Amino acid sequence: MILTNSVSVAVPGPDLNAGTRGADDSARIVIVDDDPGLRELLTGFLVDHGLRAEAVASGAALRTRLAHRPCDLVVLDMMMPGEDGLSVLRALTQTQDPPRVIMFSALSSEIDRVVALELGADDYVTKPSSPREILARIRSVLRRQRAQLAAGTSPDPADPAPTERLVGAASPVQSHDLVGFAGWALNCRMRTLTAPDGTNVRLTDGEFQMLHLFVAQPQTIHSRDDMIATLGRSDGPAKGRTIDVNISRLRRKVQRHDRTELIRTVRGNGYIFMPDVSPL
């Protein structure tokens, strides 16, 4: 079955429930799309594969639904009449404890993906797309969420531990799960960031990896090429742009709670993390 704006085509494939039913069946998923046929098809597919999924037709309907019952993840159409998906996404990211968001769009250009990710989306899927891909993307985002929230457990095996991937020999976080800088606290095991006022700041996987690199090597100029190599992203200009996107998003989230300049741009050279970092 391929999802477009109005057509579904049956495609045979493996049973994605095999060995995974129950892993995500407590997660609450909301589909937001103005196409009733697509809503019905995708919601039914997700329910058949063990998720608690429902659908609404607009951003206004989503807000009404969230006012009564929170959800864990939203699959959000980008091109809806009236209030578009980006406006809905922007509003969601401003709420307390926002849900994860996967954008679902017929727009496939790099700039469209970058804009959605910069505004806070956790993933971006283009139409037409198989429901199996949507299911796999949902499960991937939920796995990352569990890795961030589960105390005392390792991150997803598919995602190497950040301390193994990013930290050098002299890093203050090499043997400490909790580090502090300028009144902030970063829990490297739970992947959580706490502002000086005690607010928990949600980080995407890319934002966490970027911050983890900075606290591992503070007061050091990091070029974009070095960061691409260190973070394992070496496949072209789009990945270099992802570095800039994650830094921009990280700065914006930090500045909501603290106007201190933590990340400084060194023109023509890269970025430097300004504060001292110490174990807590």
- 186 confidence band (pLDDT: 50, 70, 90): very high
User: In the predicted model, is pLDDT for residue 22 greater than 70?
Assistant: no
Q: Which of 39-48, 80-89, 149-158 has the lowest mean pLDDT?
A: 149-158
Centre a 10 Å sphere on the Cβ of residue 35 and count the other Cβ atoms it contains: 19
Cα torsion through 113, 159, 46, 67, rounded to 10: -70
Task: Give the pLDDT confidence score for residue 217 in this predicted structure.
Answer: 86
- 21 or 136, greater pLDDT: 136
Centre a 10 Å sphere on the Cβ of residue 84 and count the other Cβ atoms it contains: 15
User: In the predicted model, is pLDDT for residue 199 greater than 70?
Assistant: yes
Helices and strands (DSSP H and E) totals, the chain: 9, 15
The percentage of the chain sitting over the pLDDT mark of 70, rounded to a whole number, equals 77
Q: Per-residue pLDDT averaged across 225-251, rounded? A: 72
Centre a 10 Å sphere on the Cβ of residue 169 and count the other Cβ atoms it contains: 5
User: In the predicted model, is pLDDT for residue 8 greater than 60?
Assistant: no
Position 255: which residue type? Q
CA separation (Å) from 56 to 29, 84, 98, 258?
Answer: 11, 14, 17, 36
Task: Give the pLDDT confidence score for residue 182 in this predicted structure.
Answer: 92
Cα torsion through 185, 189, 192, 198, rounded to 10: -40
Q: Per-residue pLDDT averaged across 198-203, rounded? A: 90
- 243 confidence band (pLDDT: 50, 70, 90): confident
CA–CA separation, 108 vs 124, rounded Å? 9
CA–CA separation, 187 vs 200, rounded Å? 11
Task: Give the pLDDT confidence score for residue 196 in this predicted structure.
Answer: 92
Tokens at 33, concatenated: 């799309």
Task: Give the pLDDT confidence score for residue 237 in this predicted structure.
Answer: 47
- 280 confidence band (pLDDT: 50, 70, 90): confident
Tokens at 203, concatenated: 């980080």
Most confident of 28-37, 140-149, 222-231: 28-37
- 1 or 278, greater pLDDT: 278
Centre a 10 Å sphere on the Cβ of residue 227 and count the other Cβ atoms it contains: 23
User: In the predicted model, is pLDDT for residue 234 greater than 80?
Assistant: no
User: In the predicted model, is pLDDT for residue 236 greater than 60?
Assistant: no
Task: Give the pLDDT confidence score for residue 32 in this predicted structure.
Answer: 97
User: In the predicted model, is pLDDT for residue 37 greater than 90?
Assistant: yes
- The residues, ordered by sequence, that sit 6+ positions from 123 with a Cβ below 8 Å of its Cβ are 102, 103, 137, 140, 141
- 142 or 118, greater pLDDT: 142
Helix (H, G, I), strand (E, B) or coil at 255: helix
Q: Per-residue pLDDT averaged across 180-200, rounded? A: 90
Task: Give the pLDDT confidence score for residue 5 in this predicted structure.
Answer: 52
Give pTM, 2 decimals.
0.55
CA separation (Å) from 213 to 88, 138, 192?
Answer: 31, 26, 15
